[in-house]
Structure 1
């Protein structure tokens, strides 16, 4: 595939250090897919609020990603940006805010994520009423679903179209829902929609069991991995650290060590974009070789780490992989 101007710029200028690691990792990603492998992408941090969907959605549409693991925040915040983008407030001088400034934002129903404030009424509440209806409808029918499956139902129903404030092609959740690619969302309770669901459980208006649990996600992932890890296997592209990456990568040692299924292949490719510092005892910042000792990666697994800002690096890598 011929490369476009962004890729050509990267190839010409990115020759050393983290820049070279970016190119090597992107080429390794391409090779893994070209040889028949599949790829998991994991999303930590505030990637959806950073509007990574602009490039991530196209990666999904062009079959460059087969499965996603993400935090509950990333799951919901892509849809919040979709339905309330015009009401978001950017605060470029966020480092200068006083505690009173922060309190004023709260009083005006703005929740700040670095330089961007999510509008509570327009974002959370627009999504909430449709999710609550989906939860209650499922419970009345005696049905249970994963968090991402409920969100897919709401997105695919068309009920949110009345609120769209960005081009839907820039929403990675819409792209994922239309492709019906699997999502693993560990620790979903640690999100606004997870908190909202918990509030309905406390009020005895919903049962906790209506939304499937993290353990059920792990059980499901073990089966998916078994079915998809033939040939070149499944690659692991980790953006940031935390539970979005830690949870799914453990499925391999869990099957090998705890279930004693010794025919389970290791992850077939590994890349992490990280700004975490290994010497602080950070698991998120651990160099890929450490994962060999945990039974996650093989000696021969292609391994890359780009120590930089994911909001800069991920779109560039995706652009390269897409040939832009």
Structure 2
């Protein structure tokens, strides 16, 4: 057997067990959450956070933002996020580029994430073109298909500035026409007019495709499309101004968390002194508050900046993949979403 054949066999062995995404509609977590509410520590925190999310859904005036950082999409929560969009349980999304491009759009094109049943030497993984996220594998060759697809989308666009929301909408349109997965967050957001913002969009596979688009255009002496990060901030602030009452369901922290919270301050700077702080806020994170990182700054701390309400907030210090399915399943089965009006905030920019 040749070395190439041996490597192909080894790669197939390592990429043999697909990550199966949790289906929050298939089980009812209400009894578990109710029981946790009578416990202590993180269990009670999660029950209270779930109650706050249900309050957001029951409030007819509340626009809900789903805020995602980290790798929960790759780890099995991808379909849960998609269901929140399909059922009208979120009205806007702020996320990392990895969440939207490397994970969701990646699977939307028909690729998969795989469970690492063993973790060999990472140099070995590199030689087999396998990328690792903790105990999850991605085929690098599949990821390069994402890079090229982003390049193809950019090539079709008028050479002008685009917010990440506008470009991601083009990605959703592409998946409607060419996608291989019904449960794609990017695709469903496009279909339901739920805007997605990625304030650090090029920190993902999209960056490679967009750099190639720009370099090729420069070599040919042609104009090219560019991403406008200021437009991201302006558009998201526009939604906050028009939405009034808002709630945040935040998974992880980082740039997406700070970006959505800063819309309150930005609105004030623009002269909208009547814009309220985010009324409801939930954050699920494992970040330690002692390291000075923004990802772990508590919601109480954010109140000092005039960003969130101190009365209806809850921090949950837990690995999100282990608790988000319970929170989302509880909210799905309580059914407050069934009476919600869909905001369709993407139409604001049509």
Say if 2:140 is the partner of 1:120: yes
Equivalent residue of 2:201, what SS?
A: coil
Structure 1 residue runs without a partner (length 5+): none
CA contact (8 A) 2:197 2:232 kept: yes
Q: 1:25: which partner in 2? A: 49
CA distance in 1, matches of 2:277, 2:223: 34
Q: 1:210: which partner in 2? A: 225
Say if 2:260 is the partner of 1:240: no
CA contact (8 A) 1:130 1:154 kept: no
CA distance in 1, matches of 2:296, 2:259: 15
Deviates more, 1:271-280 or 1:290-299: 290-299
2:33 maps to which of 2, 7, 10: 10
1:135 maps to which of 154, 158, 174: 154
C-alpha displacement of 1:148: 4.5
Deviates more, 1:285-294 or 1:62-71: 285-294
C-alpha displacement of 1:228: 0.9
Q: How many residues are aligned here? A: 303
CA distance in 2, matches of 1:24, 1:191: 34
CA contact (8 A) 1:81 1:123 kept: no
Equivalent residue of 2:109, what SS?
A: helix
Deviation readout 1:79-110 (Å, 9 max, x if unpaired): 21233445x4432443xx4xxx2122122221
CA contact (8 A) 1:51 1:78 kept: no
Structure 1-normalised TM-score? 0.85
Q: 2:210: which partner in 1? A: 197
Equivalent residue of 1:180, what SS?
A: coil
CA distance in 1, matches of 2:224, 2:55: 42
Structure 2 residue runs without a partner (length 5+): 1-26, 335-350
CA contact (8 A) 2:42 2:317 kept: yes
Q: 1:284: which partner in 2? A: 295
CA contact (8 A) 2:97 2:198 kept: yes
- Against the structure 1 CA distance between its residues 23 and 194, is the aligned structure 2 distance closer, same or farther, given a 3 Å change threshold? same
Structure 2-normalised TM-score? 0.79
CA distance in 2, matches of 1:183, 1:235: 16
- Against the structure 1 CA distance between its residues 146 and 187, is the aligned structure 2 distance closer, same or farther, given a 3 Å change threshold? same
Equivalent residue of 2:324, what SS?
A: helix
